[in-house]
Structure 1
Amino acid sequence: MRIAFILFFLFSLSVYTQRSDFRDIDFKKADSIAQNYKGASLKNLPVLTHHLTVALETEVEKFRAIYTWVSTNIENDYNSYLKISHKRKRLANDRQAFLNWNTGITPKVFEKLLKENKTACTGYAYLVKEMATLAGLKCVIVDGYARTPTLLLKENNSPNHSWNKIEINNKWYVCDATWSAGETMLINGSPFFNPDYFDGYFLADPVLFVKNHFAIDKNQIEQTNENRFTSFLSGPVIYKEAFHAPIIPVFPLEMHQNINREDIVTFKLNVPNNYFGDIQLLLHKGGVKKLSNPHILRNDNEISIVQKFEKKGLYDVHISVENELIATYVVKVK
């Protein structure tokens, strides 16, 4: 079963590529155009899309201008998020019914978006799709599950997120404008949206992307691979900073590890070739944080972090690169 899952996983990723395809493209012009139209109205979407893309020659630059504009001009609407979350819970046992409802509610979400420049993830994905389509690009909305460091899902959770896949130069890419836009924080119980554009989810590395995004195939909803979903839920916590390089935790496969005292755990990361970022391992046990001194092995595109656990207890193990958290595991030492 494990071999079958890995083969399916690799095949499913083979149709997606990543931003590294465009190393020679300078996105400064596209970003500048998006900035020039900051605050523009959504009421005439064809005109706005034309303004954002007419001076750009390549498909990827046109999409970049659209994506950057959406991610820097639309506010995440926490109240809409709560309403959609409530509906998701009501339809938790009927995945197809939720997807049908989610598709039907999209025009209403978009109507509010046009009036207020605020929306939840469904609205972000819908707006990206509409503008990309107006620019002559093929773009679709993807519904599914998303995991964050503060939102760990269970098997009975309903789908909780939407994002996009975009075809550029006959290849498919994934992106998440909602997560690029910023974050909503609760201050004294009141929601506050902090706009903070994050570039890592633009044409993201697909291998890393599927570690915190799980897509549902609308056409084969009753055949969703539960083993794949279980593997998705049991993986390590991935932080957005991992998308910078990108840095991909590949081992252990599961977040929770049960070992004996004096055992060794090897944490493996896939990194860009000849990556020499500062790697640290932080051990958090019983309220005490400790900077470990693991043995670190480096190959061309892989880093192994070898840690021996000499004392019993429950450890939160945080992998940090250049003082930014990348991933978290939980190790129980008997």
Structure 2
Amino acid sequence: MKAIFVILITLVNICLHAQHYNRVDSVVLAYGRVTSYTELAEKITQDFSTEETKARGIYTWIANNVDYDVKKYRKFIKNKGKKPKRKWKNHYEYEQSVSKKTFRKQKGICGDYSILYKHLCSLCGVECEVISGFSKTREKEIGRKFGEKHAWNAVNINQNWKLIDVTWSAGYVNQEKQLFIRQFNDYYFCTNPEQFFLNHFPRKHKWLLTNKTKDDFKKIPLYGQRYRSLDFETKEPNEGVIYSENETVILQFSNKRKTPNITYKFAKEEYGNYVLPKEKDGNIIVEIKYKKRGSDYLHLYMNGSHYATYKVKRK
């Protein structure tokens, strides 16, 4: 009975938490045209009084108004991530310049998003840091200690540091068309550090906010959005690089609810393959045939959405 009571209280808190953010979001999304980031900071400060609501208001506005600059990103990659050579009097002047430019153009890459977020937080009296590190977003990064360079934020709310990625909350890039698609997703606001770690690794270990290591980051698979929304977790394998035995890849998941529809495909396959999972002792067992001699990437889908990608090798 006590356990049921705890669960009910938790669910109520989650609902109140979501409603709380909905109220903040609705106020910010009704702002209409804002002429400068200083005007935005004034509006945020006037409408919200707590560190949490200010941090949320800034986050929601940026994620819904700043587009990812695909052209600038391609130039960044071409220049191997080198910043333009220009001397600034101090770091604040640099942040101010980047924030002003990003706000005016309403587009940028991860560094621009995170600097604008920090600068607005500073103007609103919220302590915030820009975190530089690496992300894991591509299959070739499976089994590597570091992925692509990336930047995000940590914000201090009620004496507790929380992790935020405004860039990934704004939408995604259609790789085929090289076009940014705006699609607000608030998963990366105050994300649990254990979940945030699955795609982020900071240069400074203290910003992990968890006890994970570089080796842990190297070993994990490439997880998709679906991984975080399903009510079960991977039991085996625990690593991104897996080996087939007797021409078979075996995956096992703990299942708490209804078994999803599971499909898979290897890297060069055009269409997915349906697999009929087995159930044993409350677990889902998936067996996939793998007869290739070399390595390949295995993409796993749950109910049609990307769950995880593994690199498969023959033993």
Question: TM-score, normalised on structure 1?
Answer: 0.71
Of residues 98, 115, 122 in structure 2, which corresponds to 1:109? 98
Counterpart for residue 76 of structure 1: 68
Counterpart for residue 255 of structure 1: 240
The alignment covers a number of residue pairs equal to: 290
Residue deviations 1:105-127, cap 9 Å, x none?
65543342132111111111111
1:214 aligns with 2:201: yes
Counterpart for residue 278 of structure 2: 295
Contact 1:278 1:322 in 2 (8 A): yes
1:330 aligns with 2:311: yes
Counterpart for residue 183 of structure 2: 196
Contact 1:319 1:326 in 2 (8 A): yes
- C-alpha separation in 2, matches of 1:229 and 1:214: 8
Counterpart for residue 24 of structure 1: 16
Counterpart for residue 284 of structure 2: 305
- Aligned CA distance change for structure 1 residues 196 and 257 (closer, same or farther; 3 Å): same
Residue deviations 1:10-31, cap 9 Å, x none?
xxxxxxxxxx975522122111
- C-alpha separation in 1, matches of 2:92 and 2:43: 29
1:148 Cα deviation from its structure 2 partner: 1.0
- Aligned CA distance change for structure 1 residues 178 and 44 (closer, same or farther; 3 Å): closer
- C-alpha separation in 1, matches of 2:125 and 2:14: 19
Counterpart for residue 320 of structure 1: 301
Counterpart for residue 136 of structure 1: 125
Runs of 5+ consecutive residues of structure 1 not aligned to the other structure: 1-19, 92-101
Of residues 47, 58, 63 in structure 1, which corresponds to 2:55? 63
Runs of 5+ consecutive residues of structure 2 not aligned to the other structure: 1-11, 84-90
1:239 Cα deviation from its structure 2 partner: 1.2
1:265 Cα deviation from its structure 2 partner: 2.6
- Give secondary structure in 2 for the equivalent of 1:24: helix
- Aligned CA distance change for structure 1 residues 90 and 75 (closer, same or farther; 3 Å): closer
Q: CA RMSD in A?
A: 3.8
Matches within 5 A, 1:110-129: 110-129=99-118
- C-alpha separation in 2, matches of 1:103 and 1:239: 36
1:178 Cα deviation from its structure 2 partner: 0.3
